[in-house]
C-alpha cells in the first residue's frame, strides 16, 4: 500500500512540475533523439512557404519537361496570317442565334461571318485587323441591305445585296474597295449580264463571277495578278483564289491559269493526267490548286509544302472540294468527309459525327477552320479554335515557345550550376584541407575571377566568339561561361567548411589509420558539408537562369529562333508591344518569375533546415 501511495505521489509531483500526463508524454517524445535527416526534413517541410515553393517548382519543371512532347517546336514556323493574336479560343465560336438559321458562312483569316435566314450578318472569332479596323464593325448600309451573297478574305469582306450592289468593309486602304470602271457601270445600271453567281475574297483582292462567264477582279495589283486575259472572258464557270493568284474552271470542263503571270509559275503547269478529262470542281489553298474530275479523281499542283499533294484513300468518288490555307476538305459521294494536308491545328481531324454522316447540308472552309452545317441547321466545327497564350510578331504559338524556351533556360541553368559546383568543390576542398601555398594561389585566382564584371565580360565574349557559332554551339558556350565564372562562391563556402571540419577528431582518426588525404577530403569531410552545398546549388540555379535570361534579353545570349525565357522578353523593349501586345511579355515574365521565386523559396527553406539555430532567430 505504501508503494502504491508513493507511485501516486510521484505522479502528483510530475503533474505539479510538468503538467498533465499528456503533456508529460509530449515532452518525452520531443526529448527523443532524432536523426539529422529527420530533423532537417521536419524543419524543411514544416514551412508553408517551402511547400508552396516546392509545389510551384515541380509544376513548372514538369510543364517544361513534358510539355515539348505535346507542343512540338518548329524553328522555321511563321505565318503572316496569325501575327500578334491575343489569347483566345473563339475562332470557331458560331453565335447561338445562328443555330438552325444558317443561310451561308464565310471563314476569313481568324474570324467567321455568317448570314442567317433573316438576312442579318454575324461575326465571331478574332475580328480585329488593325488597331482601328475591326471586321465586327459591319457598316450600317450593309446591315440594312438584303444580303444574298458574301465572301470573307484575310483582311476584308465583300457582300452583294438583292439589288446587285457590292459592299466591301474591313481593310480598304490597298484598293480592296476600288471597283473597276466596268463594275461601277454594271452596279449603276444592272442588267442580265450582271448576275453574280460567285463571290470570292483573298489576300487584298477579290473576285466576282457573273452567270455569262465574265470574271471581275479588283484589289491591290501589287499583291495579285488582277488582270484577266480576254480570251477566257465569257467562258468561266468557277474561280478559285490562292494567296496572290487564281485559276478558273472553264465551261468546257477544262481548267486554265487565266492571269498574265503564268511564265515560270507552278500554277500554270496543269498536270498531264488532267489533260483530256472533264473537271467537275476546283479549289485552292494559299499555294496550291486542285481539280476534281467528273469521275471523282483529284489532282493537286503548285507549291505544295504541307502535304497537300499527299492524297488519302477515298472510300468513294469526290463530289465537292474545299480549300483552306494548307489543307483540303473533300465531300464524297457517299456523304463521307475527308481532309488532308497540314494538320498542325487539327484542321484535318474530322469529328466522328461528321466523317461518316449523310446528313451534311453544306461545308465551309477557312484558313484553319472547317464548318459542317447539318440537315437540322446545327453546325459542327473542327480546326483552330485559337491560341491559349496568343501568338508573337511572326505568328508563332507563344505557349509552344514558352514551354520549349523553359526547357532551354532550365537546362542552361542546371548545367552551369553543375560545372560551377564541380570546379568550386575541387578547388575549395584543396584550398581548405591543404592550406599554405595551394590555399593562397586558389584564393587569389578566385578573387580575380570574382572581380570580373560578369555581364560585360560575357557580352564581350559572346560578341567576339558567338558570331562564329550556331545557336546550339552558342548555348554550350553560355553554359561553360556561366559555369567557369560562377564557381567562386561555392569555392569559398567549401573552403570555409573544410577549414572547420579538418580539425575534427574523425579526421585525425582517419589520418592515423593511413587513409589518403584525397579520400579524407572527398569521402569523409565533403559529406558533412553537402547540406550547405545543396543550399548553395539551389540558389545558384536561380541565379544562373536569371543571368542567362539577362544575356538573352540584351541580345548576347542564345539567339533566335531558339526560344528561351530571356529572348522571349526581348520584345518588351518595344513600347508598341508593351502597350498593345501585353501577352507577349506578361506570360514569359510570369512563368519565369514564378520559377525563380519558387527556387529561392526552396533554397531559403534548405538554408534554414540545415541550420539548427534558424528557428531561434
Q: What is the pLDDT of residues 449-489, one digit of tens each?
A: 888 777 777 777 767 776 677 777 888 888 888 888 888 88
- Checking if the pLDDT of 174 tops 50, the result is yes
- Select the more confidently predicted residue: 219 or 525: 219
pLDDT at 403: 94
Q: What is the pLDDT of residue 359?
A: 86
C-alpha cell at position 433:
584541407
- Beta-strand runs (E) in 242-317: 246-250, 255-256, 279-284, 288-293, 298-302
Residue 123 banded pLDDT, cuts 50, 70, 90: very high
Residue 31: what pLDDT?
45
Distance CA(398)–CA(119), nearest Å, equals 38
| Residue carrying the nine cell digits 457601270 | 185
At 570, which helix (H) or strand (E)?
none
- DSSP structure class, residue 397: B
Please state the pTM of the whole predicted model.
0.83
pLDDT band of residue 494 (cuts 50, 70, 90) is: confident
pLDDT at 37: 65
Q: What is the mean pLDDT of residues 320-347?
A: 93
- pLDDT average, residue stretch 350-356: 90
- Cα torsion 570, 573, 578, 579: sign: negative
Angle, to 10 degrees, between the axis of helix 398-434 and the axis of helix 530-554? 130
| Contacts of range 578-585, beta carbons closer than 8 Å, 24 or more positions apart | 580/84, 580/131, 581/84, 581/86, 581/390, 581/393, 583/86, 583/87, 583/389, 583/390, 583/398, 584/84, 584/390, 584/392, 584/393, 584/398
Four-point Cα dihedral 217, 219, 220, 221, nearest 10: 20
Q: Which of 19-23, 257-261, 529-533 has the lowest mean pLDDT?
A: 19-23
* 24: pLDDT strictly greater than 60: no
Least confident of 150-154, 315-319, 356-360: 356-360
* Residue 32 or 543, more confident: 543
pLDDT in tens, 258-304: 887 766 677 888 888 888 899 999 999 998 999 999 998 999 998 88
List C-alpha distances in Å: 494 to 222, 361, 442, 533, 541: 69, 76, 12, 8, 17
Q: State mean pLDDT over 225-252.
A: 90
Average pLDDT over residues 161-186: 90
* Cβ contact 411:68 at 8 Å: no
- The dihedrals phi and psi of 422, each to the nearest 5 degrees, come to -60, -50
Span 134-138, average pLDDT: 92
Q: Which helix (H) or strand (E) holds 553?
A: helix 530-554
Q: Which of 46-50, 396-400, 508-512 has the lowest mean pLDDT?
A: 508-512
CA pair distance 105, 123, nearest whole angstrom: 10
Give phi and psi for 135, each to the nearest 5. Answer: -65, -20
Residues 160-181, mean pLDDT to the nearest whole number: 90
Question: What is the pLDDT confidence band of residue 23, given thresholds at 50, 70 and 90?
Answer: low
The residue count for the chain: 617
Percent of the chain with pLDDT over 90: 34
Q: How far apart are CA 193 and CA 536, in angstroms?
A: 83
| Helix H or strand E segment including 322 | strand 318-323
| DSSP per position, 336-359 | BEEEEE--TTSTT---HHHHB-TT
More confident residue, 576 or 299: 299
**Contact between residue 495 and residue 387 where contact means Cβ atoms under 8 Å apart:** no
Confidence of residue 248 (pLDDT cuts 50, 70, 90): very high
Question: What's the CA gap between 124 and 141, in Å, rounded?
Answer: 20
Give the model's pLDDT for residue 567: 84
Q: Does the pLDDT value for residue 610 go beyond 50?
A: yes
pLDDT score of 1 more than 50: no
Contact yes or no for 179/187 (Cβ under 8 A): yes
For residue 435, what pLDDT band results from cuts at 50, 70 and 90? confident
The tens digit of pLDDT for each residue in 35-70 reads 566 776 777 777 888 889 889 999 999 999 999 999
For residue 18, pLDDT beyond 70? no
Q: What is d(CA 35, CA 399) in angstroms, rounded to the nearest whole number?
A: 45
Average the pLDDT over each of 8-12, 327-331, 455-459 and give the range with the smallest value.
8-12
Average per-residue pLDDT in the chain?
A: 84
Domains of the chain: 48-78+396-616 (1.10.3720.10), 89-239 (2.130.10.30), 270-386 (2.130.10.30)
C-alpha cell of 85? Answer: 493574336
The band of 22, judged by pLDDT with boundaries at 50, 70 and 90, is: low
Say yes or no to pLDDT of 118 above 50: yes
Report the DSSP pairing between strands 279-284 and 255-256: unpaired
Environment class of 370 (CB within 10 Å of its CB; exposed 0-12, middle 13-18, buried 19+)? buried
Separation of alpha carbons 291 and 301, rounded Å: 9
How confident is the model at residue 36, as a pLDDT?
61
Helix (H) or strand (E) segment spanning residue 362: strand 360-365
HEC-encoded secondary structure of 199-220: EEECCCEEEEEECCCCEEEEEC
397, pLDDT greater than 60: yes
Does the structure show a pLDDT above 50 at 14?
A: no
pLDDT value of residue 19: 52
pLDDT at position 291, please? 94
pLDDT of the residue at 376: 83
H or E element at residue 364: strand 360-365
C-beta of residue 130 within 8 angstroms of C-beta of residue 143? no
DSSP-assigned letter for residue 276: T
Question: DSSP characters for 461-516?
Answer: HHHHHGGGS-HHHHHHHHHHHHHHHS-HHHHHHHHHHHHHHTTSHHHHHHHHTT--
For residue 366, with 0-12 CB atoms within 10 Å meaning exposed, 13-18 middle and 19 or more buried, which class applies? buried
Phi and psi dihedrals of 344, rounded to 5? Answer: -60, -40
Residues 6+ apart with CB under 8 A from 495: 428, 429, 431, 432, 439, 442, 443
Provide CB contacts within 8 A for 25, sequence distance 6+. none
Amino acid at each position: 500500500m505504501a508503494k502504491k501511495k508513493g507511485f501516486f505521489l510521484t505522479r502528483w509531483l510530475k503533474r505539479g512540475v510538468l503538467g498533465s500526463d499528456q503533456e508529460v508524454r509530449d515532452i518525452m517524445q520531443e526529448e527523443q533523439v532524432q536523426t539529422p535527416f529527420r530533423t532537417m526534413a521536419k524543419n524543411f517541410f514544416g514551412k508553408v512557404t517551402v511547400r508552396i515553393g516546392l509545389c510551384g517548382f515541380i509544376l513548372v519543371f514538369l510543364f517544361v519537361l513534358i510539355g515539348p512532347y505535346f507542343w512540338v517546336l518548329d524553328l522555321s514556323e511563321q505565318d503572316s496570317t496569325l501575327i500578334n493574336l491575343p489569347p483566345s479560343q473563339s475562332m470557331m465560336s458560331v453565335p447561338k442565334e445562328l443555330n438552325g438559321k444558317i443561310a451561308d458562312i464565310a471563314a476569313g483569316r481568324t474570324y467567321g461571318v455568317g448570314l442567317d435566314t433573316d438576312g442579318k450578318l454575324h461575326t465571331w472569332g478574332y475580328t480585329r485587323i488593325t488597331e482601328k479596323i475591326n471586321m465586327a464593325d459591319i457598316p450600317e448600309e450593309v446591315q440594312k441591305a438584303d444580303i444574298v451573297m458574301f465572301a470573307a478574305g484575310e483582311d476584308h469582306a465583300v457582300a452583294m445585296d438583292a439589288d446587285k450592289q457590292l459592299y466591301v468593309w474591313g481593310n480598304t486602304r490597298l484598293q480592296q474597295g476600288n471597283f473597276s470602271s466596268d463594275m461601277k457601270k454594271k452596279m449603276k445600271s444592272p442588267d442580265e449580264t450582271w448576275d453574280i453567281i460567285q463571290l470570292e475574297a483573298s489576300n487584298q483582292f477579290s473576285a466576282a463571277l457573273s452567270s455569262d462567264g465574265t470574271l471581275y477582279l479588283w484589289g491591290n495589283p501589287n499583291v495579285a495578278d488582277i488582270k484577266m486575259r480576254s480570251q477566257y472572258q465569257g467562258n468561266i464557270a468557277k474561280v478559285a483564289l490562292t494567296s496572290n493568284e487564281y485559276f478558273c474552271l472553264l465551261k468546257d470542263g477544262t481548267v486554265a491559269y487565266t492571269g498574265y503571270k503564268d511564265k515560270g509559275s507552278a500554277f500554270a503547269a496543269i498536270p498531264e493526267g488532267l489533260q483530256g478529262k472533264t473537271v467537275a470542281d476546283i479549289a485552292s489553298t494559299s499555294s496550291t490548286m486542285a481539280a476534281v474530275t467528273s469521275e471523282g479523281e483529284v489532282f493537286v499542283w503548285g507549291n505544295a509544302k504541307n502535304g497537300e499533294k499527299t492524297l488519302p484513300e477515298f472510300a468513294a468518288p469526290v463530289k465537292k472540294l474545299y480549300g483552306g490555307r494548307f489543307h483540303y476538305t473533300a465531300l464524297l459521294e457517299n456523304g463521307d468527309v475527308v481532309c488532308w494536308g497540314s494538320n498542325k491545328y487539327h484542321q484535318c481531324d474530322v469529328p466522328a459525327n461528321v466523317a461518316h454522316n449523310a446528313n451534311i447540308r453544306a461545308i465551309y472552309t477557312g484558313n484553319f477552320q472547317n464548318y459542317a452545317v447539318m440537315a437540322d441547321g446545327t453546325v459542327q466545327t473542327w480546326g483552330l479554335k485559337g491560341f491559349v497564350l496568343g501568338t508573337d510578331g511572326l505568328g508563332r504559338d507563344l505557349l509552344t515557345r514558352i514551354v520549349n524556351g523553359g526547357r532551354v533556360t532550365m537546362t542552361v541553368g542546371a548545367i552551369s550550376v553543375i560545372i560551377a559546383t564541380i570546379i568550386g568543390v575541387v578547388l575549395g576542398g584543396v584550398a581548405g584541407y591543404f592550406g599554405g601555398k595551394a590555399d593562397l594561389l586558389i584564393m587569389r585566382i578566385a578573387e580575380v575571377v570574382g572581380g570580373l564584371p560578369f555581364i560585360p565580360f560575357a557580352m564581350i565574349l559572346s560578341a567576339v566568339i558567338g558570331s562564329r557559332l550556331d545557336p546550339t554551339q552558342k548555348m554550350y558556350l553560355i553554359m561553360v561561361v556561366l559555369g567557369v565564372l560562377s564557381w567562386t562562391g561555392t569555392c569559398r563556402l567549401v573552403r570555409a567548411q573544410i577549414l572547420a571540419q579538418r580539425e575534427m577528431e574523425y579526421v585525425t582518426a582517419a589520418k592515423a589509420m593511413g587513409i589518403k588525404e584525397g579520400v579524407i577530403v572527398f569521402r569523409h569531410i565533403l559529406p558533412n558539408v553537402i547540406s550547405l552545398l545543396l543550399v548553395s546549388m539551389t540558389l545558384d540555379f536561380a541565379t544562373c537562369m536569371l543571368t542567362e535570361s539577362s544575356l538573352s534579353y540584351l541580345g548576347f545570349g542564345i539567339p533566335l529562333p531558339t526560344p528561351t525565357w530571356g529572348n522571349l522578353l526581348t520584345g518588351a523593349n518595344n513600347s508598341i508591344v508593351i502597350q498593345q501586345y501585353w501577352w507577349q511579355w506578361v506570360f514569359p515574365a510570369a512563368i519565369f518569375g514564378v520559377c525563380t521565386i519558387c527556387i529561392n523559396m526552396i533554397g531559403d527553406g534548405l538554408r534554414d533546415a540545415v541550420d539548427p539555430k534558424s528557428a531561434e532567430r
